[in-house]
Amino acid sequence: MGSERILVVDDEKLINWSLVEMLEDAGYLVESAACGAEARKKFSSFGPDMILLDIALPDANGMELLQEFKEQDEHVMVIMITANADLDSTVKSLKLGADEYIGKPFNLDVIEHRVRQILDKRRLKKQTTTAKRILRRSSDFDQLVGSSAKMIEVFKMTKICAESDCKTILILGESGTGKELVARAIHMHSSRAEAPFIDVNCAAIPDNLLENELFGHEKGAFTDASQREEGIFECADGGTVFLDEIGDMPLAMQTKILKVIETRRYRRVGGRANLEANVRIVTATNQDLPALVEQGLFRGDLYYRLNVMCIHLPPLRERIDCIPSLVDYFIGRLNAEYGKKVQGVEAETMAYLKQYDWPGNVRELRNTIERVMMLDPAPMLTPNFLPTEIKRPSAPLLSDSYTPADSLSAGGRNMDITLPPDGITLEEVEKMLIQQALLRYDGNQTKAATCLGMSRDTIRYRMKKFGLN
């Protein structure tokens, strides 16, 4: 403790000085600012844990600054200080997120005491959220849930990758399909499990900083490099580096990564020593890499390198058999997290969940279950609180405006069969259903026949009759 950073913002020199003295004596790192402009500058350069903020500044309103700072860093603690300690501004500043309000003239001892209390509270809160995060993450790791044939393939590949210690792995799949979960599972089940797993989101780090982030730099490598700094490859030594959103990696960086993969060596920015890269590189993307290669946005040679060991995560709509086990799993976890006693979902709810196409995949399913659990008091979750896009009444299979094209694009997910006002022949119905079944199973006649409860010979005969190929 005591090494926390406090920024004192007050234009009255004497007050500013006495606060700084008192806080430094108490062991904090302190900087001060005499106006709004300076406060903004120091806020970014100094990165305070706490700000003592005067409301009336020559060039700014403390209330506005308070809002600004809290928006930029929700964890920063702010104590408002003012000469006119009226109730209105107290209430207003507390509403805007101030953590404390102190009127002038004040007693320095009282301030010191409050500062300590508030910082203690902040530290505790931070610790518990980190602990929670670690807990949540570790419970996420081994829990890759799934029961469909496609997911069993994924589990097999994950195991092979984990055990083989191949140096690079590529994980493909739409957003929310579990790519990060698989990357972590590979690490956790590999001989590298004791060493770090570090993930880097290539899309979130500015191009010019990525190399520095990955490889580190030597002292003097650039203006701000006042000392040598280790990069992620060095920190993850012996472990796994997860390069997420690899499709967004700039071309220049792709060249460097390819070189690391080929030579197992790299240099810090501004460095000349060749360091050994003793890490496994797991990469992931939801983009179409071959298309990016075609467009010249992704290096073909890097793609072929990465593609050697590749795990493809199918979208949730292609593994609806996984939905019941995922729902059970999420309910169990959320019950534990929120102290709830939800037992499951009603059959009708499950039917909706199974027919929706889940563009956000497993993440969207988890969020949906969480939302319904918060709103629905029933022990078996009803469809009442499902979002409308999930409950959107499925287009009647045979409605007024029915055209075969509509039905085909609906992909066979319709539940209700309604007789159109002017009727329809059963032959037409049969033809459309056979078309849909064939579409669903990529033209596999055996599967299409099974799903319609007919033999393969029957479906062949009908297809011929209806002129379907």
Contact footprint for Mg ion (CB under 5 A): 180
The smaller minimum CB distance to ligand ATP, of residues 106 and 329, is found at 329
Tell me how far, at minimum, the Cβ of 166 lies from ligand ATP, in Å: 20
173 binding partner (options ligand ATP, Mg ion, none; Cβ < 5 to 8 Å by kind): ligand ATP
176 binding partner (options ligand ATP, Mg ion, none; Cβ < 5 to 8 Å by kind): ligand ATP
E-strand spans in 55-195? Answer: 77-82, 100-103, 168-173
Tell me the one-letter amino acid at 302: L
The smaller minimum CB distance to ligand ATP, of residues 4 and 174, is found at 174
Euclidean distance between CA atoms 206 and 253, whole angstroms: 12
The smaller minimum CB distance to ligand ATP, of residues 16 and 158, is found at 158
Q: Which residue is nearest to ligand ATP (CB)?
A: 178
The answer to whether 177 contacts ligand ATP (rule: CB under 6 A) is yes
The answer to whether 367 contacts ligand ATP (rule: CB under 6 A) is no
Q: Is 435 helix (H, G, I), strand (E, B) or coil?
A: helix
The smaller minimum CB distance to ligand ATP, of residues 178 and 383, is found at 178
**Cα–Cα distances in angstroms (integers) from residue 164 to residues 157, 160, 281, 322, 340, in the given order:** 10, 6, 13, 27, 41
Q: In the window 315-354, what residues touch ligand ATP (CB under 6 A)?
A: 326
Residue of the chain from 36, 48, 62, 173 that contacts ligand ATP (CB under 6 A): 173
The answer to whether 180 contacts ligand ATP (rule: CB under 6 A) is yes
In this structure, are strands 265-266 and 168-173 parallel, antiparallel, or unpaired?
unpaired
Contact 229, 282 (CB under 8 A): no
The answer to whether 366 contacts ligand ATP (rule: CB under 6 A) is yes
**What number of CA atoms fall less than 13 Å from residue 39's CA on the CB side?**
29
181 binding partner (options Mg ion, ligand ATP, none; Cβ < 5 to 8 Å by kind): ligand ATP
The answer to whether 286 contacts ligand ATP (rule: CB under 6 A) is yes
The smaller minimum CB distance to Mg ion, of residues 366 and 462, is found at 366
Euclidean distance between CA atoms 7 and 28, whole angstroms: 10
Contact 259, 215 (CB under 8 A): no
Residue of the chain from 36, 48, 62, 146 that contacts ligand ATP (CB under 6 A): 146
383 binding partner (options Mg ion, ligand ATP, none; Cβ < 5 to 8 Å by kind): none
Tell me how far, at minimum, the Cβ of 203 lies from Mg ion, in Å: 10
Tell me how far, at minimum, the Cβ of 348 lies from ligand ATP, in Å: 24
Q: Is 8 helix (H, G, I), strand (E, B) or coil?
A: strand
Residue of the chain from 84, 117, 143, 458 that contacts ligand ATP (CB under 6 A): 143
The answer to whether 145 contacts ligand ATP (rule: CB under 6 A) is yes
Euclidean distance between CA atoms 387 and 254, whole angstroms: 41
Residue of the chain from 70, 179, 192, 462 that contacts ligand ATP (CB under 6 A): 179
The answer to whether 153 contacts ligand ATP (rule: CB under 6 A) is no
In this structure, are strands 216-217 and 229-230 parallel, antiparallel, or unpaired?
antiparallel
- Tell me how far apart the terminal alpha carbons of the chain are, to the nearest angstrom: 75
Beta bridge partners of residue 54, listed in sequence order:
81
Long-range CB pairs of 149-157 (<8 Å, 24+ gap) are: 149/321, 150/314, 150/318, 150/319, 151/314, 151/319, 151/322, 154/182, 154/311, 154/312, 154/313, 154/314, 157/311
Residue of the chain from 6, 181, 381, 386 that contacts ligand ATP (CB under 6 A): 181
Tell me how far, at minimum, the Cβ of 147 lies from ligand ATP, in Å: 10
Tell me how far, at minimum, the Cβ of 280 lies from ligand ATP, in Å: 18
Euclidean distance between CA atoms 163 and 192, whole angstroms: 10
Tell me how far, at minimum, the Cβ of 242 lies from ligand ATP, in Å: 10
Euclidean distance between CA atoms 270 and 222, whole angstroms: 8
Residues near ligand ATP (CB under 6 A) are: 140, 143-146, 173, 175-181, 286, 326, 362-363, 366
